[in-house]
Amino acid sequence: MTFIHSNAISLGVFLTCLFTVFLSSGSSVEAVNFLSIHLGNVQSSGYVVMQPLFNYSLEAQARHYPRLFQNYTYEAKVRRESPHCGPPGVEASLGLMADIIGEKKSFPEAAALTVLFVPLCGPSFAVFAEFARELDMLAVSCTAVDGSVRKKDRFPSSISLATADSEPYGAALLALMRYYGWRSIAIISDQLGGSTRANRNVEQCRAPLEQLYERRSEFEFHNIITDSYKESFTRALIEATNFSRIILSCTLGEAQRRAMADAFDLKMMTGDYIIIHLFENETPGEPPLSWQRNDDLDVKVRSAFQHLLVLGSPPINWDEFEETSRLMHQRRDNMFGPTTTPDEVLLSP
């Protein structure tokens, strides 16, 4: 996943550093060709969101540093009907990369570097990172990817600018378990009705699940699937307590309040159980996790939150990104229109 407000800052800094290094190092690189890769149009990282981000960042840096950015090209490669993740996404990535290789104009000249912007999930990004290594290109991800893509021995020419990265939270969870000597944990994975927020929640809990699996000789874990759009958390909580007194709750916002209210009703607030919640993927305008909503759950949740351990980052001051956000939304509206749907979008590099 990706949040365009903060990623624009990361991307701008990266672009400036990239050009400065080439200019000051005596590199023979005289121009940089940027290609952005877009498969499908998912809400968080599709071309309608990401293509204006790349346009805005490149043009903003070119205005601030005209000498550095005097020789660059940018082209968007879009397959709007393609899957972006999973095995179908990998297949689509291979097909698109084959097309890029087949187009001579997409290859760098002798004195040019090609940079691939790839806002795709880990396995799909890995396809472009593999080709980047062999073709002396640079592959850049600005969405969260799994740890395997960060292995520099395999992907020496790839870099991640993701601001929503779940890997450290998996490491923090395991460190916490080791510190207190916990050897088992139950994970409640909320499907959130298959909504667009479900992808965000899956990513939020991906790293802990992957890292627990990698260390399954050290820790026992049990992943419990539920859907807060279809049922309460009662069944999942009962199943979790039958496995461990340590419970990781993978859900978002208001659903976490309901989970804690259900835990209160099950009398899990006696001190026997510890519920852990991850809160790392904050979005603009999203209120912090709080027991108080001035509703009938407040009393239960206030008591239950005393037994909730939150692993999260410091809150983000989104006001700092307000002007950047406004300019990028304006650019998106200029490119695609303010009310267009993906099928109505006129693609423009």
Tens digits of per-residue pLDDT, 32-77?
A: 788 888 888 776 667 787 888 788 888 887 887 787 677 788 888 8
* CB-facing half-sphere around the CA of 296: CA atoms within 13 A: 1
Q: Supply the pLDDT for residue 247.
A: 96
* Average pLDDT of the residues in 312-333: 75
Q: Supply the pLDDT for residue 281.
A: 54
Residue with the larger pLDDT of the pair 8 and 139? 139
- Of 151-165, 237-251, 267-281, the least confident: 151-165
Quick one: pLDDT band at residue 349, thresholds 50, 70, 90? very low
- Of 154-158, 222-226, 313-317, the least confident: 313-317
- What's the predicted TM-score (pTM) here? 0.66
Q: Supply the pLDDT for residue 6.
A: 44
- Of 38-47, 111-120, 223-232, the least confident: 38-47
In the predicted model, is pLDDT for residue 342 greater than 70? Answer: no
Q: Find out whether 85 and 41 touch, Cβ atoms under 8 Å.
A: no
Residues 6+ apart with CB under 8 A from 194: none
CA neighbor of 225 nearest in space, from 199, 258, 188, 259: 188
Quick one: pLDDT band at residue 311, thresholds 50, 70, 90? confident
Q: Find out whether 171 and 206 touch, Cβ atoms under 8 Å.
A: no
Q: Find out whether 185 and 169 touch, Cβ atoms under 8 Å.
A: no
CA 81, CA 343: separation in Å to the nearest integer? 9
Quick one: pLDDT band at residue 17, thresholds 50, 70, 90? low
Q: Which residue blocks in the chain are alpha helix, DSSP H? A: 4-24, 47-64, 86-102, 122-134, 167-180, 196-214, 234-241, 253-265, 298-304, 322-336
Q: Supply the pLDDT for residue 78.
A: 87
Q: What is the pLDDT of residues 173-196, one digit of tens each?
A: 999 999 999 999 999 999 888 666
Q: Find out whether 108 and 114 touch, Cβ atoms under 8 Å.
A: yes
In the predicted model, is pLDDT for residue 345 greater than 50? Answer: no
In the predicted model, is pLDDT for residue 325 greater than 50? Answer: yes
| Amino acid making up residue 255 | A
CA 112, CA 137: separation in Å to the nearest integer? 10
Quick one: pLDDT band at residue 20, thresholds 50, 70, 90? low
Residue with the larger pLDDT of the pair 17 and 137? 137
Q: Supply the pLDDT for residue 200.
A: 72
- Report the percent of the chain where pLDDT is more than 90: 21
